[in-house]
């Protein structure tokens, strides 16, 4: 992508100084790298913390000071550049929705906060852990990202590139759009009324967030922010986190009934639909045949 650091976003909340670690020592079960990867994949697929099955609990680490301050962030120049990049994407994407949401739906956009953390953090939706991957919490209207996920995205899931990283963040911002429009609340209510449809509804919700990410990609392309190959990076990231691919990685088989995010083909299809149209009204996954 074509971007340059322009200062940290006012919507960025940096909790990396409140580092927390998963307790794998003591009475916990020690696992090797392969076992840890398996647990990570399962956690990403099902949005549940499979690391908790190891026992030993969570090492809460040093608590913040009484005044709420935290320890200085220990970080590398590479990580700080990544913080600058996600800050840029956050402002650029939400700036687009500032204009697009009122124009399209007559509804003002409400900015989400992006929380950067390490390992474990408290959220309005309970304890958030890096094992679940980036996520959005509608209860506090915040996105949560452990930057270590981007290493996993590149190294384990084979989706390198800055636009692949941007796609992940834009997808979570898409969930904020859904919360503003009331889509998220409707899906949760429908899932409670008919639990047997909860997974199918979750797939449609996630695919719509992919499409909204594509809408931002269209805007970025129109403003000459993209470079050759960026679109393929975004499509590669969408394909890399398809339910079918993640299940094959973790168990060697695919169970369509347990899908919560959609297949690799579906995720790339809906991201591309938003990218090609630039219109969030094209993202009606609930009225479309999947």
Q: What pLDDT score does 73 carry?
A: 76
The continuous run of DSSP H or E covering 136 comes out as strand 135-137
Question: What is the rounded distance in angstroms from the CA atom of residue 21 to the CA atom of residue 129?
Answer: 9
Q: Is the dihedral of CA 95, 101, 106, 108 positive or negative?
A: negative
- Whether the pTM exceeds 0.85: the reply is no
Of how many residues is the chain composed?
290
Q: What pLDDT score does 223 carry?
A: 97
Q: What pLDDT score does 98 carry?
A: 98
Q: Helix, strand, coil: what percent of the chain each, to 5? A: 55, 10, 35
Tell me the pLDDT tens digit for each residue of 219-245: 999 999 999 999 999 999 999 999 999
Phi, psi angle pair for 226, to nearest 5°: -95, 150
**Closest to 152 in 3D by CA, of 143, 162, 160:** 160
Torsion of CA 180, 235, 9, 127, to 10 degrees: 60
pLDDT in tens, the chain (290 residues): 999 888 899 999 999 987 554 333 333 333 334 444 445 555 555 555 544 444 434 333 444 444 444 566 788 899 999 999 999 999 999 999 999 999 999 999 999 999 999 999 999 999 988 888 899 999 999 999 999 999 888 888 889 899 999 999 999 999 999 999 999 999 999 999 999 999 999 999 999 999 999 999 999 999 999 999 999 999 999 999 999 998 998 889 999 988 999 999 999 999 999 999 999 999 999 999 88
Q: Which two tokens stand for residue 83?
A: 């913080």
Q: What pLDDT score does 40 carry?
A: 54
Question: What is the rounded distance in angstroms from the CA atom of residue 88 to the CA atom of residue 27?
Answer: 42
Q: What pLDDT score does 62 carry?
A: 42
Report, in angstroms and rounded to the nearest whole number, the Rg of the chain calculated over CA atoms: 19
DSSP per residue, 147-182: THHHHHHHHTS---SHHHHHHHHHHHHHHHHHHHHT
Do 107 and 101 contact (CB within 8 A), yes or no?
Answer: yes
Q: Token pair 């990076």 is at which residue?
A: 233
Q: Token pair 């503003």 is at which residue?
A: 180
Q: What pLDDT score does 66 carry?
A: 43
């Amino acid at each position: 992508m074509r971007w340059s650091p322009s200062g940290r976003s006012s919507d960025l909340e940096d909790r990396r100084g409140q580092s927390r670690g998963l307790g794998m020592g003591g009475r916990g079960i020690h696992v090797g790298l392969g076992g840890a990867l398996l647990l990570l994949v399962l956690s990403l697929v099902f949005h549940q913390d499979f690391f908790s099955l190891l026992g030993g609990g969570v090492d809460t680490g040093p608590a913040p000071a009484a005044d709420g301050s935290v320890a200085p962030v220990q970080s590398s120049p590479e990580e700080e550049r990544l913080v600058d990049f996600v800050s840029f994407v956050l402002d650029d994407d939400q700036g687009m929705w500032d204009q697009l949401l009122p124009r399209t739906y007559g509804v003002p956009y409400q900015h989400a906060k992006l929380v950067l953390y390490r390992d474990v953090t408290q959220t309005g939706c309970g304890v958030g852990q890096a094992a679940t991957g980036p996520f959005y919490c509608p209860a506090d209207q915040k996105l949560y990202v452990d930057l270590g996920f981007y290493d996993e995205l590149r190294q384990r899931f084979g989706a390198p590139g800055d636009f692949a990283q941007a796609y992940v963040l834009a997808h979570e911002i898409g969930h904020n759009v859904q919360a503003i429009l009331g889509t998220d609340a409707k899906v949760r209510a429908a899932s409670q009324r008919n639990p047997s449809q909860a997974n199918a509804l979750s797939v449609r919700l996630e695919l719509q967030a992919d499409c909204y990410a594509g809408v931002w990609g269209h805007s970025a392309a129109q403003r000459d922010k993209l470079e050759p190959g960026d679109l393929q990076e975004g499509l590669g990231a969408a394909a890399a986190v398809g339910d079918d691919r993640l299940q094959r990685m973790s168990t060697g088989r695919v169970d369509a009934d347990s899908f919560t995010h959609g297949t690799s083909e579906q995720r790339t299809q809906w991201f591309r639909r938003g990218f090609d149209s630039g219109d969030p009204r094209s993202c009606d996954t609930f009225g479309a045949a999947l």
